[in-house]
Amino acid sequence: MKDLARECGFELAGVARALPLADEIERYDAWVAAGFAGEMRYLTDRRAQVRHDPRNLLPEARSVICVGKLYNQPVPKAEADDAVISRYAWGRDYHDVLRQGLEELARKLEAVEPHRWKVCVDAAPLLERAYARQAGLGWIGRNTCLINEPQGSWFFLGALLTSLALEADGPPPDRCGTCTRCIEACPTQAFVRAGEEWTLDARRCIAYLNIELRGVIPEEHRESMGTNIFGCDICQEVCPWNSRAPETTDPAFSPKFETTPKLDTLAYLTEAEFRARFHDTPVTRPKYEGFLRNIGVAMGANGGGRFREPLEHLSRHSNPLVAEHARWALERMDECADVSQS
């Protein structure tokens, strides 16, 4: 199976039993109860209970084949007036890429032995990281990412539920040790104590604020978001296990942008231009208005006076969400100017 998975483009592959993971269920339910999921209702509604058992998705499931696909790639260093986009979003939308690979794997296995199967990529209610850990792909680090010892954490995770009874792998040891670089580097202090462990309060996470949150970004976090307009890689960039992480050779993840986009240029994109420029990438997830909201916050966090004209343009936008965040940025710009002159 692992050889077939590599043929299908996956660098990591392993097997976990398709059974509930009691400790992980307890941890997940406690995380939800604490409100750490924020407004991501797909994590807290009836689907939260579905996540307790893979057989809720495929009653015949006996094994969970977990895979990891590398997406790490060099991206241009962002300058002061550049928009920062998480490196996973520079290429093609990973949902399609992983689904195609997992469907190919399912068919290859079917040629060996007929089986019932179901592909799960991100959107399916499955505790993917937990099963990936059980399948030996890596441990779950303090930054809540799955970390593979030789290859780091720049991986997309996917799963194939199957009726085949495959030999299960086992979880590797946790190798974060006493390192807390990710915790210390997070600008919004999104990692919080949960008993003896660290967990992610998504309500403070930059990637949640500029992707998942559909409404107003709390003012207390805006300045700390910097010029990140889509996602955030900081906790992975500082991780020692990523210091020698390999780079993907899959052309699907080749950068669609030649250079890091400029904030002031993005502020003037029409909705049609936005869709055309970011077509088939994850950047369209916050939708056009959410994207412009993020541009306004990024220019305000930067504080540079050169952004006054594009911010005034956004402050007149017909969408109240976009206009409000642009006005906040203008006010902050004025405050920075007053401080510099005093």
Compute the distance between CA of residue 5 and CA of residue 301 in angstroms, rounded to an integer.
43
Q: What do you get for the CA distance between the two ends of the chain, in Å?
A: 67
Compute the distance between CA of residue 196 and CA of residue 193 in angstroms, rounded to an integer.
7
Choose, from 82, 122, 233, 334, the residue flagged as catalytic: 122
Beta strand segments in the chain, E: 12-17, 63-70, 84-85, 117-120, 139-140, 146-147, 155-162, 191-194, 197-200, 228-230
**What are the Cα distances from residue 170, in Å, to 14, 31, 132, 151?**
9, 24, 10, 18
Is 122 assigned a catalytic role?
Answer: yes
Compute the distance between CA of residue 74 and CA of residue 87 in angstroms, rounded to an integer.
8
Beta strand segments in 71-164, E: 84-85, 117-120, 139-140, 146-147, 155-162
- Which of 7, 54, 59, 245 lies closest to 168 in space, CA to CA? 54
CA angle 190/193/197 to nearest 5° reads 115
Compute the distance between CA of residue 51 and CA of residue 54 in angstroms, rounded to an integer.
7
Q: Which residues are part of the catalytic machinery?
A: 122
